[in-house]
Amino acid sequence: MSETKYESKICSIPNSAENVYKVLSNLENLNRVKDLIPKDKIQELEVSADSIRMKVDGLGQKITLSIVERIENDTIKFGAEGIPMQANFWIQLKQIAPLDTRIKLTLKADIPFMFKMMLDKKMQQGLDQAADMLTQFPYNQWL
């Protein structure tokens, strides 16, 4: 196994870090976009303020992502359970101007070497797509 770190591209959100943090640090806000999640990839989605539990296509079991640390207006860190490797994920925010907050997603995972080459491109694409998606949320409406 080798610990691998993936970082999304840095994206801009036209809102304050405080508003973005308030929305993203309460996972119940995912219920607002539940219908956009591909049902063929993710089933049995359960959401609480601090965790997401779901069955992911291909894993055959439920996984849980839980918030393990919050740094107000700055970082939200997640831990994962039910996956066949150790992994941590975090969202970083940096306010550049009153209505310009930059966001970056980072994933660290212990990926077996034989799977790393197969997963590298998909992991990077997934993080970049997730960062893009987070720029589209109507943060002011969700407060």
Q: Could you write out the DSSP letters of every residue in 57-117?
A: TTT-SEEEEEEEEEETTTEEEEEEESSSS-EEEEEEEEEEETTEEEEEEEEEEEE-HHHHH
CA–CA gap between residue 34 and residue 131 (Å, rounded):
17
Q: Is 92 within 8 Å of 75 (Cβ atoms)?
A: yes
Q: pLDDT digits over 73-93, tens only?
A: 999 999 999 988 899 999 999
Residue type, 32: R
Between the alpha carbon of residue 72 and those of residues 20, 30, 61, the distances in Å are 10, 19, 32
Tell whether the model's pLDDT for residue 36 goes beyond 90. Answer: no
- Percent of the chain at pLDDT > 90 equals 74
For domain 2-142, give the CATH superfamily: START domain (3.30.530.20)
Spell out the domain ranges in the chain. Answer: 2-142
Q: pLDDT digits over 98-115, tens only?
A: 999 999 999 999 988 888
Output the average pLDDT for the chain: 93
pTM above 0.85, yes or no: yes
Tell whether the model's pLDDT for residue 7 goes beyond 90. Answer: yes
- Mean pLDDT for 3-18 is 97
Answer positive or negative: Cα dihedral of 41, 118, 30, 69: positive
Q: pLDDT digits over 39-60, tens only?
A: 888 889 999 999 999 998 877 7
- Mean pLDDT for 66-77 is 98
User: Rounded to the nearest 5 degrees, what angle is found at the Cα of 11, between the Cα atoms of 8 and 17?
Assistant: 110
